[in-house]
Structure 1
Amino acid sequence: MRRIEGERVVAAKVALVTGASRGAGRGIARGFGELGYTVYVTGRTVAPGDAKGWDGTVLPGTVAETAAEVTAAGGKGIAVMCDHGDDAQVAALFERIEREQGRLDVLVNNATFIHHQLIEKKPFWEKDLDAVKILDVGLRSAYVASWHAARMMVRQGSGTIAFGSSFGGSCYMHGPAYGAQKAGIDKFAHDMEHDLRGTGVIAVSIWMGPLVTERSLIAQKTNPEQYEGFIETAENPEFTAHIIDAISTAPNRDELSGQTLIAAEIARELGVTDRGSERPSYREMLGSPRPKNPAAVY
């Protein structure tokens, strides 16, 4: 897909958004579509009914539907069924992008394992042990995808590796497995920046605020006291895509690389709004990202 810029024909940027059947990934993919990107959207859902909300209801969304929404928004959506817990499937995904596009401009690591007890107010030992799978699909899988993306991006001399994170990387949120996954991907961005420095490729982690997604709307009904007033200030996930795009072309992109950035704050700095609205930062309530540490030990 190409777009016209003045009298020049410019090839559309290429993004990969992992875990985009629904939720944050689906909205982020749509956001890139609004910006004219060619977007590869991955997920395991090819038929509705594979995923359920907190109240047991079937969640909508498939990779094909997301890809169609990307195209309808102005980009080109390409659906790929991919289990990010399977390294061979991930390798095949990147080989396909290389073969079909010859480049990758943005990787958004969003795929993660959502346990059905995630938001239950129970100590971790009273939840099922398989809640720890978020460290397989969510942490390890982000490393694997970033490894493949870095090899492509460093060769081409440009690119952005982004991690979808949250304030749970600092404060207690949904239990220790969730927190460890968020803290881990924040550290991935920090340490990958050190290795990527000077290559033209940057890495950032984005602390998104509360998002309007299928699961969060159900959570609002399931726990009305906890989520009271949430819709009024919640971020649309398309907002995250617009922020990542702005970071990738920002004059200070190298300075931003390696940082964990609060979406609402960096959006204000870069002049990005969420459908015309500014969103609040929860820094005072939930904590601050760790600053970049210049020390390096080999």
Structure 2
Amino acid sequence: MNPSLHGKVALVTGASRGAGKGIATALGAHGATVYVTGRTLNEGDAPLPGTIGATAAAVTAAGGTGIAVACDHRNDAEVAALFERIDREQGHLDILVNNATFLHDELIHSGGFWEKSPDLVNILDVGLRSAYVASWHAAQRMVKRNNGLIVFTSSFGANCYMHGAAYGAQKAGVDKFARDMGVDFRPYNVAAVSIWMGMLQTDRTRRVMDSEPEKYAGFWDMAETPEFTGHIIAAIYNDPQRADKNGQVLIGAEAAQGYGLTDAGRSMPSHRPMLGGPPEPSPAIVV
């Protein structure tokens, strides 16, 4: 175990499986106490494997302390109760990872957005609105202590066409959250960043690849582990120049290279040459 986050408290939303589970487990490997939220309490309740209890156990097994909390991030009252519980049990919060989202099975189907279910728009409620609400709660606590890191999990779909309009709008939205919240955080030792992850080695990805093995031949070996982003987050939190990252949209693979991090021994390439990079924001500030 790398105890670089010993004594630190993190919250990872949407952590029953996938990216959230990997990030939470990695933060646990750095010694953090990690609250993991989600809606899946029992195996079989969701179409993919994973529960918040299993993720909490993985965090603890990795060397941290995992705490599972059932929370529907569409419900503002449940989110408020979550932060109040962290206050009672820990007294502070150091890291918030906004990962909860809604991924419809039709997301990767071909065709125009009007040919898919209108329910795809729910990604804006769960993946965008809920991230704002959680950040609102976290920011009040972090600013008071003059310390903290808020992370948004994002992707290259924020700037290139990927999976259609709803997905792209959600990713572009959390990138904008990081940029603008970063402006508000400048007087404090709090940073907001958005991290573009690459393709991930998750059960969802495996299911998609198995459905069209020829189309996705070789892609699995190129994909990032879900833990990779968690190690990047730990490095950013512990960076003496963390304030320099505030308000930035980062390509995870590039940030990892800057910190000398590998992914299970692999040096992960940036997809910037193929998919583009984050657009340069205007320095103007209108209040």
Measured against the shorter chain, the TM-score band is over 0.9
Question: CA-atom RMSD, angstroms?
Answer: 1.4
Sequence identity percentage: 62
Matched, 1:277 2:266: yes
* In structure 2, distance between residues paired with 1:142 and 1:24: 15
2:91 pairs with 1:96: no
Provide the residue aligned with 1:56 in structure 2.
none
The CA deviation at 1:177 is 0.1
1:129-168 equivalences under 5 Å are 129-168=118-157
| Unaligned runs of at least 5 residues, structure 2 | none
Give SS of 1:78's match: strand
SS at match of 1:15: strand
Aligned to 1:33: 28
1:224 is displaced (CA, Å) by: 2.5
Letter matched to residue 148 of structure 1:
H
The CA deviation string for residues 232-267 of structure 1, in whole angstroms up to 9 with x for no partner, is 121111110110111112233112111110000010
Moved more, 207-216 or 221-230: 221-230
Q: Which residue of 2 aligns with 1:75?
A: 64
Instruction: With the length of structure 2 as denominator, give the TM-score of the two structures.
Output: 0.97
Q: Who is 2:253 aligned against?
A: 264
Q: After TM superposition, list the pairs within 5 Å mapping 1:213-228 onto structure 2.
A: 213-228=202-217
Q: Would you say the 8 A contact 1:21–1:63 is kept in 2?
A: yes
Q: Is the Cα contact below 8 Å between 1:259 and 1:291 reproduced in 2?
A: no
Q: Which moved more, 1:246-255 or 1:189-198?
A: 246-255
Say if 2:186 is the partner of 1:197. Answer: yes
Gap regions ≥5 residues in structure 1: 53-58
Q: Quick one: structure 1 residues 254 and 126, their matched pair in 2 at CA, closer, same or farther if it must change by over 3 Å?
A: same
Please report how far the alpha carbon of residue 292 of structure 1 lies from its aligned counterpart in structure 2 after TM superposition. Answer: 3.8
3-state secondary structure, aligned to 1:104: coil
Judge which range, 218-227 or 270-279, deviates more: 218-227
1:34 is aligned with what amino acid?
A
Matched, 1:286 2:275: yes
Aligned AA (1:17): V
- TM-fit CA distance, 1:291: 2.4
Amino acid at match of 1:169: A
Q: Is the 8 A contact 1:114 1:134 kept in 2?
A: yes
How does the TM-score come out when normalised to structure 1? Answer: 0.93
Q: 1:186 to 1:225 in 2, by over 3 A?
A: farther
Equivalent residue for 2:11, pick from 16, 23, 29: 16
CA distance in 1, matches of 2:141, 2:281: 25
Structure 2 SS opposite 1:215: helix
Taking the aligned partners of 2:122 and 2:3, their CA distance within structure 1 comes to 44
Q: Distance in 2 between matches of 1:97 and 1:264?
A: 31
Instruction: Provide the C-alpha distance between the structure 1 equivalents of 2:236 and 2:134, rounded to a whole number of angstroms.
Output: 20
Structure 2 counterpart of 1:255, which letter?
D
Aligned partner of 2:105 in structure 1 is 116
